[in-house]
Amino acid sequence: MNNQERYLRAYDEQLRTDAETPSAINVGIEGPLRLVTFAGGRGFITYQDLAGSDAQEIAALVAKALTYFTANPEITSVEWKSRGHDNAPGLHEALLAHGFEADEPESIMIGPLEALARDMPMPNGVTLRKVTSDADVRAMSAMADEAFGESVDTRAANALTARLARKDGMELWVAETAGRIVSAGRLEPVPGTDFVGIWGGATLETHRHRGIYRALTAARARSALAAGKKLVHSDSTEDSRPILERSGLVKVSTTTPYNWKR
């Protein structure tokens, strides 16, 4: 078994279902599906596998899952998290038929934390720090929305501050220049495993390709190593995938989020 196969097996066994949803406020079950409710009116659908379901059975699961969430008027959006290596006949068609829209596929990256933790030269005028205050979290969240070309959504900041209050191990890191947050990301230890997740990477367009995100990633990796973790995983866009590959992480599969909005 090569590294890619070994990492993919570890991903399927350790990083799906419970490990994906540490901040869930409610979880429902529909066959193999976990129907997760997050703060801020967000629904999320995941599973370890689809239990050998055929196209007709998968279409029925999609319908039941959406009915579950639409029955709750507080739910305004739902994400179905698909994986490229799953056996899921007819899933794409069923999701589109029920009003979901596919985002760009992302690469599932896994590798040793040491690969990311090497000291990196800090770009001139840039500082890194971990943030915990409400004001910092809101500034970080607003920057991420700007980086992705979206309007500022205070619900995301509300959810992050609520998680920090629960002290579940999540860390929020930012890079600043001239007193302004220009890049940010989360660190999420996975309880009961050797894994930590690196998520939410966002850098303002005017500050990309300067090594800021790479330095921010290294800082998070060093923090995770200090906490006893050994492996890292991340769903990466095409902007961050090459950075992680150069650092020794391996692409083991893809994941495509399908989103429904009320």
55 alpha-carbon distance from chain centroid: 27
Give me the phi and psi of 32, to 5 degrees please: -80, -5
pLDDT of residue 247: 82
Helix-strand-coil split of the chain, %, nearest 5:
35, 30, 35
Report the pLDDT averaged over residues 3-7.
92
Hey, what are 130's tokens?
A: 């971990």
The helix (H) or strand (E) run that includes residue 93 is helix 91-97
pLDDT of residue 20: 85
pLDDT of residue 253: 97
DSSP state of 247: T
Q: Quick one: what percent of the chain has pLDDT higher than 70?
A: 100
Highest average pLDDT, of 90-99, 111-120, 193-202, 237-246, comes from 90-99
Q: Which residues of 122-147 are buried (b: 16+ CB within 10 A; e: fewer)?
A: ebeebebeebeeeebbbbbbbbbbeb
Sign of CA dihedral 78, 83, 86, 92: positive
Report the pLDDT averaged over residues 109-117.
91
User: Which of the four pLDDT bands, split at 50, 70 and 90, describes residue 153?
Assistant: confident
Give me the phi and psi of 139, to 5 degrees please: -65, -40
CA neighbor of 186 nearest in space, from 161, 211, 149, 205: 161
Alpha helices in 130-250 (DSSP H): 134-147, 154-166, 212-226, 241-246
User: Domains of the chain, with CATH numbers?
Assistant: 3-107 (3.40.630), 111-252 (3.40.630.30)
Q: Which residues pair with 167 in a beta bridge?
A: none
β-strands 33-38, 195-203 pairing: unpaired
Hey, what are 11's tokens?
A: 């991903």
Per-residue pLDDT tens over the stretch 55-79: 999 999 999 999 999 999 999 999 9
Q: Residues 6 or more apart from 57 whose CB is under 8 A from it?
A: none
Per-residue pLDDT tens over the stretch 25-35: 999 999 999 99
The helix (H) or strand (E) run that includes residue 111 is strand 106-112
pLDDT of residue 106: 94
